[in-house]
């Protein structure tokens, strides 16, 4: 019988075992990755095209193109698409990103056959109706105007410009009026040039029976796309020489701060170690930045640091919103915390707390088959080694205070920090 007066025994996690996909190379050149689990009668299908912002020749074309696929096909109107998906209690959405554009279907496994005709029609037979495009474009323009009134939007937009350069596709958001010139032909052209079978990865996970697997292989082998070759990446990294920028919003009582720098790619040997350094500095609620700037100084309700990996690059930054009068003090405290990591070894107790937290968070994030599939998908899309996640856990367990100090000295040079502030100037 369970004795609830005693705490559970603490066990050290040496390694984890994630499910590996069965990969089928279909007759049309598409790779289908299947991860099976009978835990729940649900299936998720991810169609991942090389059709993100990095392939744009006209700004905004990738985003609007991704959304326009749901606005009608040769066989279904936008209303019919939405009603069919809803009738089967399913979900079919798009997640448009910097490197890829992804279409995801969630449904009960017994309805896969019923939904595949609609899904495949959306992907390969969009008609790009002019009326719907005008509505969608106007909605995006209005949303941009609203977003550009927010401090955090402007700060992040300006910060990513400092890191990558004015016209780099990894820049967050858009300048005012930047979407005005885009045309329906620009959107249609982007689809025709970048939705390619050659660059398509399809991930299927969940309750996939033999019948469902056979159906997927048959249907997906007949999938066609307008382009046979992936588009060409249209950018070169060229950051701005200035180390700071200020976007003034005179009536604002707060300022949004973004400060950071370029970081090694996710495949770099130091990347896993840098995630531990980041966690200590500002990666969780008990981090040094939170304890100092939130709990001790009371400058903010929340502050964080994060590493943002892309397929071609990575970026580290710290973000917070503060009363405009303490903006400069907050930045000084951020630099102080970085300097402490460079000058003093992390205490063993603090490191053990962070190690336990990171391992526990990782385990919590692989609790479902869909979360495990996401880990596998990252390995494929970022071209990582199969041991990537096992190495991550090993690094967390074995990293030393000396290594953390060396990382802080090497990668967190405060002279190189880029800082963007949006808000009201302190008087």
Q: How far is CA 102 from CA 46, 69, 93, 405, in A?
A: 7, 12, 8, 39
Nearest to 266 by CA among 309, 209, 231, 236: 309
- Residue 53 and residue 100: Cα distance in Å, rounded? 8
- Residue 215 and residue 112: Cα distance in Å, rounded? 9
What does the block give as tokens for 160? 């990513």
What stretches of 17-142 adopt beta strand conformation (E)?
Answer: 22-25, 31-36, 42-49, 91-96, 101-108
pLDDT over threshold 90, residue 426: no
**Per-residue pLDDT at 13:** 61
What does the block give as tokens for 242? 């200035």
Residue 299 makes CB contacts below 8 A (sequence gap 6+) with 293, 320, 322, 323, 326, 329, 330, 333
Q: What digits encode the pLDDT tens for the residues 168-193?
A: 999 999 999 999 999 999 999 999 99
**Per-residue pLDDT at 113:** 97
Rounded (10°) angle between helices 388-398 and 369-381: 100
pLDDT over threshold 70, residue 4: no
Instruction: Please state, rounded to an integer, the average pLDDT across all residues of the chain.
Output: 93
Q: What digits encode the pLDDT tens for the residues 123-167?
A: 999 999 999 999 999 999 999 999 999 999 999 999 999 999 988
pLDDT over threshold 80, residue 1: no
**Per-residue pLDDT at 212:** 96
**Per-residue pLDDT at 241:** 78
**Per-residue pLDDT at 199:** 84
Q: What digits encode the pLDDT tens for the residues 68-99?
A: 999 999 999 999 999 999 999 999 999 999 99
**Per-residue pLDDT at 8:** 57
In the structure, what pLDDT confidence band is assigned to residue 310 with cuts at 50, 70 and 90? very high
In the structure, what pLDDT confidence band is assigned to residue 240 with cuts at 50, 70 and 90? confident
Which domains are seen in the chain, by residue range? 22-221 (3.30.830.10), 244-423 (3.30.830.10)
Q: Which of 146-160, 229-243, 325-339 has the least mean pLDDT?
A: 229-243
CB 312 within 8 Å of CB 236: no
In the structure, what pLDDT confidence band is assigned to residue 226 with cuts at 50, 70 and 90? confident
Q: What digits encode the pLDDT tens for the residues 205-217?
A: 999 999 999 999 9
318 backbone dihedrals φ, ψ, rounded to 5°:
-115, 135
Q: What digits encode the pLDDT tens for the residues 115-132?
A: 999 999 999 999 999 999
Q: What digits encode the pLDDT tens for the residues 43-69?
A: 999 999 999 999 999 999 999 999 999
- Residue 201 and residue 189: Cα distance in Å, rounded? 22
Judged by DSSP in three states, 22 sits in strand
Most distant CA atoms of the chain, gap in Å: 70
In the structure, what pLDDT confidence band is assigned to residue 425 with cuts at 50, 70 and 90? confident
pTM across the whole model? 0.92
């Amino acid at each position: 019988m369970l004795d609830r007066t005693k705490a559970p025994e603490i066990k050290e996690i040496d390694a984890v075992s994630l499910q590996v996909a069965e990969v089928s190379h279909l007759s049309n050149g598409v790779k289908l990755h299947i991860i099976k689990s009978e835990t729940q009668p649900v299936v998720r299908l991810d169609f991942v095209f090389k059709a993100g912002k990095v392939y744009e020749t006209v700004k905004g074309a990738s985003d609007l193109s991704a959304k326009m696929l749901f606005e009608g096909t040769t066989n279904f109107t936008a209303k019919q698409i939405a009603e069919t998906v809803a009738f089967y209690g399913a979900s079919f959405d798009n997640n448009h990103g910097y490197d890829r554009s992804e279409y995801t279907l969630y449904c009960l496994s017994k309805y896969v056959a019923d939904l595949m005709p609609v899904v495949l029609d959306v992907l390969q037979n969009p008609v790009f109706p002019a009326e719907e495009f005008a509505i969608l474009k106007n909605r995006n323009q209005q949303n941009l105007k609203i977003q550009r009134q927010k401090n955090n939007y402007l700060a992040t937009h300006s910060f990513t410009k400092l890191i990558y350069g004015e016209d780099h596709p990894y820049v967050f958001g858009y300048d005012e009026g930047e979407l005005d010139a885009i045309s329906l032909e620009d959107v249609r052209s982007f689809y025709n040039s970048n939705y390619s079978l050659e660059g398509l990865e399809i991930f299927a996970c969940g309750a996939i029976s033999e019948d469902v697997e056979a159906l997927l292989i048959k249907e997906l082998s007949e999938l066609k796309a307008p382009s046979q070759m992936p588009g060409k990446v249209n950018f070169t990294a060229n950051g701005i020489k200035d180390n700071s920028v200020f976007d003034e919003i005179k009536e604002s009582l707060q300022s949004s701060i973004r400060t950071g720098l370029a970081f090694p790619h996710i495949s770099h040997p130091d990347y896993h170690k840098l995630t531990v350094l980041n966690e200590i500095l500002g990666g969780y609620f008990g981090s040094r930045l939170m304890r100092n700037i939130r709990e001790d100084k009371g400058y903010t309700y929340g502050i964080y640091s994060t590493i943002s990996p892309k397929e071609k690059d990575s970026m580290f930054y710290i973000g917070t919103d503060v009363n405009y009068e303490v903006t400069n003090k907050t930045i000084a405290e951020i630099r102080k915390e970085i300097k402490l990591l460079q000058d003093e070894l992390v205490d063993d107790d603090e490191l053990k707390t962070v190690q336990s937290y990171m391992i526990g968070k990782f385990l919590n994030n692989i609790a479902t088959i869909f979360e495990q599939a996401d880990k596998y998908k990252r390995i494929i899309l970022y071209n990582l080694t199969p041991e990537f996640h096992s190495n991550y856990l090993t690094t967390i367990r074995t990293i030393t205070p000396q290594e953390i100090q060396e990382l802080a000295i090497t990668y967190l040079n405060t002279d190189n920090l880029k800082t963007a502030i949006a808000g009201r100037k302190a008087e």
